[in-house]
Structure 1
Amino acid sequence: MSIPSSDIAVPARVLALAGGAHLTPLWQNAMGGVTFRTDDARVIKVGPRNPETTMAAEAERLRWAGRYTPVPEVLDVGEETREEAREDPGEEWLVTRALPGRSAVDPRWLGEPAVAVRAVGEGLRALHDALPVADCPFDWSVPARIAGAAARGIQVPSALRTPPPIDLAVVCHGDACVPNTLLGDDGRWIAHVDLGALGVADRWGDIAVAAMSTEWNYGPGWHDALIAAYGVDPDRERLSYYRDLWNAT
């Protein structure tokens, strides 16, 4: 996944949804999905159907989470019908209202990793504190993740089928990699994006992924700084388990 260059090809679906608005590329993922911002304050995400997290599922989660914490407002969501799809897996899209701020992997913050890491850790803790577990209809537990992997033809190693006891159940982001936190110009977190897998799980499922992703984006040495910003001591057993589960699924 990366921030694309300005000369990226704009898919026809994006052009149609933009309706003549000027487009700035924001993100490109390994599956072929692309995200653009329009000059009328919308974000348009288009890509092939994802067997793990659909954009329809993300829209549902955004609408729920938006009652409690800053996330994008859903403006439109859709997918090709079977008749329209030119080939499997077909195409889906999500349009949201643009939020202020920049991703924690914007060049501005890649140049200030200490600021970005602190903001991501603090933002993740704030997300966990804000979202009510008792009211959450979504599941990201280990059994649910293993079942989802099996449905996609992935067999999780037997050693990962029994997780450590739950430390604290929270509503997890589900993809807490650092790009999915937005920072304001003051270096503080302001919102979260890409909540397609949001659901109740042990908080270490998110913490492990967020900490692991610091190395991918900022280089070695920031892992424990993120955990400290979250406000807990490193739990090496849970960190190791949830890192391995992420990589296996």
Structure 2
Amino acid sequence: MSVPISQVPAGPVPVPPSLRPVLARWGGPGADLPALPAVWVNAVGGTTFALRGPAGAVFCKWAPAGTALDLAAEARRSRWAAAWLPVPRVLATGADEHGSWLVSRALPGRSAVDPRWLARPQVAVPSLGRALRRWHDALPVRECPFDWSVPHRLARAVGDASALRTPPPVDRLVVCHGDACSPNTLLGEDGAATGWVDLSALGVGDRWADLAVATVSLDWNYGPGWQPVFLDAYGVAADPVRTAYYRALWDVGP
């Protein structure tokens, strides 16, 4: 799998002009400046700004027009999942010809790739395994209106998926997170999961679609050797066939 380039930016990020009124509304005085500190920039051009204003601590996600980020889809999925698990509460959404935005209330905890947790993988990694199992056990497959099955994903693939037309049999159908990389789980001061973010691909699929991505993400963020610890905490044995298949499927368009 290719290494992601999503990351915490090194300094202030220019604010798109059409986003400035949104930031001013939710962030209070000074939030419509030409540049603001951002907490995350992702591989396809999206940016997340942290704000504190009249509504308290909120995040504003921005997706430039023409990118693959679908913030309206994320808003729908967040509203659905909120009945069962702590996910961002959607406060506002919008779009214009320049891009789209999603404002949500901040959750407690820090990303699992916060420096505190990068320095303590022996705590963070098993917590991530338990968190993903909690996610898969909590969300009801029969009530989920969203799809993340192999046929659905192959139909949207942006790379050569010809070798992926025959997937392995489904191990267990769950409501997948859809981007179970380490940064998208928040951990509290005791190391336990406090919430999940970035739900734009949430949908029903084989649990190995999440597990394959979650485990390789550990290498990117904590270094090699942690995948068995994660799987043990989740409560499943390694499955090299399904892992290889779903990592290859991720590479042609998650």
TM alignment of 1:105-184, pairs within 5 A: 105-149=113-157, 153-156=158-161, 158-184=162-188
Q: Is 1:61 equivalent to 2:68 in the alignment?
A: no
Q: What's 2:3 paired with? A: none
Q: Which moved more, 1:20-29 or 1:183-192?
A: 20-29
1:52-91 Cα shifts (integer Å, max 9, x gaps): 44100110000000011110000011111xxxx2xxxx40
Q: 2:51 aligns with which of 38, 54, 66?
A: 38
Provide TM-score, normalisation by structure 2: 0.88
Q: What's 1:27 paired with? A: 40
CA drift of 1:14 comes to: 4.1
Q: Counterparts of 2:132 and 2:94 in 1: how far apart (Å)?
A: 29
Q: Does structure 2 retain, via aligned residues, the 8 Å contact 1:36–1:45?
A: yes
Q: 1:244 aligns with which of 245, 248, 251?
A: 248
Q: Counterparts of 2:73 and 2:21 in 1: how far apart (Å)?
A: 22
1:121-170 Cα shifts (integer Å, max 9, x gaps): 11111011110000000000000000011xxx4331x2211110000000
Q: Which amino acid aligns with 2:197?
A: V
Q: What's 1:91 paired with? A: 99
Q: Counterparts of 2:156 and 2:109 in 1: how far apart (Å)?
A: 33
Q: Which amino acid aligns with 1:25?
A: A
Q: What's 1:4 paired with? A: 9
Q: What RMSD, in angstroms, separates the aligned Cα atoms of the two structures? A: 1.6
Q: 1:196 aligns with which of 190, 194, 200?
A: 200
Q: Does structure 1 retain, via aligned residues, the 8 Å contact 2:45–2:67?
A: no
CA drift of 1:50 comes to: 6.0
Structure 2 unaligned blocks of 5 or more? 1-5
- How many matched pairs? 237
Question: Cα gap change, 1:129/1:49 in structure 2, threshold over 3 Å: closer, same or farther?
Answer: farther
Q: Which amino acid aligns with 1:99?
A: L
Q: Is 1:17 equivalent to 2:30 in the alignment?
A: no
Q: Counterparts of 2:80 and 2:65 in 1: how far apart (Å)?
A: 22
1:162-206 Cα shifts (integer Å, max 9, x gaps): 110000000000000110000001111111000000000000000
Q: Which amino acid aligns with 1:140?
A: W
Q: Does structure 1 retain, via aligned residues, the 8 Å contact 2:187–2:195?
A: yes
1:75-119 Cα shifts (integer Å, max 9, x gaps): 011111xxxx2xxxx401100001111101111111111211111
SS of equivalent to 2:175: strand
Q: Does structure 1 retain, via aligned residues, the 8 Å contact 2:13–2:37?
A: no
Q: Counterparts of 2:212 and 2:59 in 1: how far apart (Å)?
A: 28
Q: Which amino acid aligns with 2:120?
A: E
Q: Is 1:77 equivalent to 2:85 in the alignment?
A: no
Q: Does structure 2 retain, via aligned residues, the 8 Å contact 1:52–1:148?
A: no
Q: Does structure 1 retain, via aligned residues, the 8 Å contact 2:44–2:68?
A: no
Q: Counterparts of 1:95 and 1:17 in 2: how far apart (Å)?
A: 9
Q: Which amino acid aligns with 2:212?
A: A
SS of equivalent to 2:85: coil
Percent sequence identity over matched residues? 54
Q: Which moved more, 1:40-49 or 1:124-133?
A: 40-49
Structure 1 unaligned blocks of 5 or more? none
Q: Counterparts of 1:13 and 1:230 in 2: how far apart (Å)?
A: 43
1:198-240 Cα shifts (integer Å, max 9, x gaps): 0000000000100010011111111121111111111111111
Q: Is 1:223 equivalent to 2:236 in the alignment?
A: no
Provide TM-score, normalisation by structure 1: 0.90
Question: Cα gap change, 1:131/1:50 in structure 2, threshold over 3 Å: closer, same or farther?
Answer: farther
Q: Which moved more, 1:194-203 or 1:8-17?
A: 8-17
Q: Does structure 2 retain, via aligned residues, the 8 Å contact 1:24–1:38?
A: no
Q: Which amino acid aligns with 1:71?
A: V
